[in-house]
Structure 1
Amino acid sequence: MIYTWPSPAKINLFLYITGVRSDGYHYIQSLFQFLNYGDTLKIVSNTTGKIELFSEKKLILNTENTIIRAAKLLKSKALYYEKTNCTTLGAKIFLNKKIPIGSGLGGGSSNAATVLIALNKLWKTKFTLEELAQFSLKIGSDIPAFIMGKTSIVEGIGEILNPIQRKEKWYLVVYPKIQILTKNIFSNFLLESTSQKKTIQLLLQSPFSNDFENIVSNKFKKIKTLLSILSIYAPTRITGTGSCVFSEFDDKLSAQKIFSLLPKNVQGFIAKSVNTSPLHHVFYKKNIHI
């Protein structure tokens, strides 16, 4: 069975750090919004017992890649829970990469979520979404939100999800060709103070912001300049702890107009927000049920 599976990008409409655990993990409150833009993964299941990842027709052997880690994690959980004869479970995974690394758009986490959901179906391991979300925390704290696939206010270290419905908007997302790895931001940059935890109602009523924006923009002048320019035309912020800057519009035409004003060498795209992840739409469209 072969399918091409979406692996959508996300933006953080707000991001607040509300505390730090003794093990170094940060408590957050963030609004995860999916976009109708992202990577795609073609997955061919087999019985070789091997997990192979290809991108641009080249075999990737990096065992730290979230795709490989997710597939191996699912296989180990299937063995532990005696779901199937998992020693023969294998797959060839072909990645079409559009989400830049270190951009704050959640590419690595999204890829892992797509692999867990797809292989859970293809391998017939029959874990629930909630079980997959719990397993995925071993790889990354953003992955549960991608697995559950709904616009959500995310709390805790990423495991507490509060689904909400938001009016769908259009976003101009600009990538300044700077890679900012989340682990480096959290380990090398100290927030002057943490934010006070708020109720969901208050979070949605308050102006949206990102606790890392000053840190990132002061470190990278190119990002600071983009924020300054785009803020003239529309609400503009960085997403997550990455380098991408996004501006929010009510319609596609307005986003296109502002994009056309930017220098021709600026890398970016325009996408619509969606309340249900494109990955989940695949199941309804193809009548595939988890």
Structure 2
Amino acid sequence: MPVATIRSAAWPAPAKINRFLHIVGRRADGYHELETLFQFLDRCDLLDFEVDRSGEVQRSGGLPGLAAGDDLAVRAARALQRATGSPAGCTVRVAKRLPAGGGLGAGSSDAATTLVALNHLWGTGLGVAALADIGLALGADVPVFVHGHAAWATGVGERVTPVAPDEPWVVVVDPGVNVSTAAVFGAEKLTRNTPRIRIPRLDTGSLGNDCEPVVRERYPAVAQAMDWLGGFARPRLTGTGGCVFATFPERAGADEVVARLPRQWRGFVARARNTSPLLGRLQEAQECRR
């Protein structure tokens, strides 16, 4: 007999931006010590889950050419199974709207949404801290997506303190470059000794991204996109990725920039948010269950 399934749709996996990113040291294990300010965008991948009792985790959709076993959403589901001993299974359907390798945290966000959604749907009952710990083994950015609040982050990005910076309109330009995080962090020219900031700063206008010089040098298309966007506002690199962004106080100004975007690039306008839309979707699911 076929296994009965229950479908739960439209779980958002939002993009993130780093309003700044400083590398303040390097640990003995080779990982870098960071200081950064994470903020969400209301642009999201969308994940649907078909939950069953098969004990198998399968995937539908996702990035072409990416094996299911390498997909962070699938890996997150299997990690939750191992951590909880859940006999449940699922099919994860990923509708991609965020570019891979763009520095927007797309894979990490998919993983976090999978952990949060399946913890609810499978009834595994873990708290946020436990889910974040599982997520950290999948990627340094996953915990901030699990917590769901804009955050001042230190360590490798896993130590997060909720903050509430301004929520501007954001223009994101994607020059279509998949940047290797490992290559950027392994570059000899990367600055690794930026002085620490003792008090979390929300006025990020004077702060930059230590990865930017390396990415600009190695990926000329990213440098070109930054130079073009710099004709309208201060351009910034998010994370180590290929996407660049600038902030605007009003949507009209942001829309005008995207309307002038050169044809060889993609771009979009989004609103920066201090609360992830994932938390709203979880609350909605919890209320439906009552």
- TM (norm. structure 2) is 0.92
1:246 aligns with 2:245: yes
Partner of 2:21: 15
CA RMSD across the alignment: 2.1
The 2-side partners of 1:59 and 1:218 are apart by 28
Ranges in structure 1 where 5+ consecutive residues have no aligned partner = 80-85
| C-alpha deviation, 1:2, in angstroms | 2.5
Partner of 2:3: none
Partner of 1:273: 272
Kept in 1: contact 2:19–2:204 (CA 8 A) = no
Q: Which moved more, 1:234-243 or 1:224-233?
A: 224-233
1:53 aligns with 2:49: no
| C-alpha deviation, 1:193, in angstroms | 4.0
Q: Which moved more, 1:30-39 or 1:255-264?
A: 255-264
Q: Which moved more, 1:99-108 or 1:50-59?
A: 50-59
| C-alpha deviation, 1:62, in angstroms | 3.1
Q: Secondary structure at the match of 1:126?
A: coil
1:2 to 7, 10, 13: 7
| C-alpha deviation, 1:223, in angstroms | 1.4
| C-alpha deviation, 1:229, in angstroms | 1.9
**Counterparts in 2 of 1:203 and 1:23: CA distance versus 1, 3 Å:** farther
| C-alpha deviation, 1:200, in angstroms | 2.9
1:236 aligns with 2:242: no
Kept in 2: contact 1:99–1:107 (CA 8 A) = yes
Letter in 2 for 1:14: F
The 1-side partners of 2:65 and 2:209 are apart by 37
Partner of 1:83: none
| C-alpha deviation, 1:273, in angstroms | 0.7
- TM (norm. structure 1) is 0.92
Letter in 1 for 2:78: K
| C-alpha deviation, 1:287, in angstroms | 4.0
1:31 aligns with 2:37: yes
**Counterparts in 2 of 1:58 and 1:99: CA distance versus 1, 3 Å:** closer
Q: Which moved more, 1:248-257 or 1:218-227?
A: 218-227
| C-alpha deviation, 1:265, in angstroms | 3.3
Superposition map of 1:133-172 within 5 A: 133-172=132-171
Kept in 2: contact 1:53–1:59 (CA 8 A) = no
The 1-side partners of 2:164 and 2:144 are apart by 14
Superposition map of 1:1-290 within 5 A: 1-3=6-8, 4-55=10-61, 61-79=67-85, 86=86, 88-202=87-201, 204=203, 207-288=206-287
Letter in 2 for 1:219: R
| C-alpha deviation, 1:182, in angstroms | 1.5
Ranges in structure 2 where 5+ consecutive residues have no aligned partner = 1-5
Q: Percent of aligned pairs with the same residue?
A: 34
| C-alpha deviation, 1:194, in angstroms | 1.9
The 1-side partners of 2:165 and 2:31 are apart by 28
| C-alpha deviation, 1:168, in angstroms | 1.3
Q: Secondary structure at the match of 1:101?
A: coil
| C-alpha deviation, 1:284, in angstroms | 2.9
Q: Secondary structure at the match of 1:63?
A: helix
Kept in 1: contact 2:15–2:42 (CA 8 A) = yes
Q: Secondary structure at the match of 2:69?
A: coil
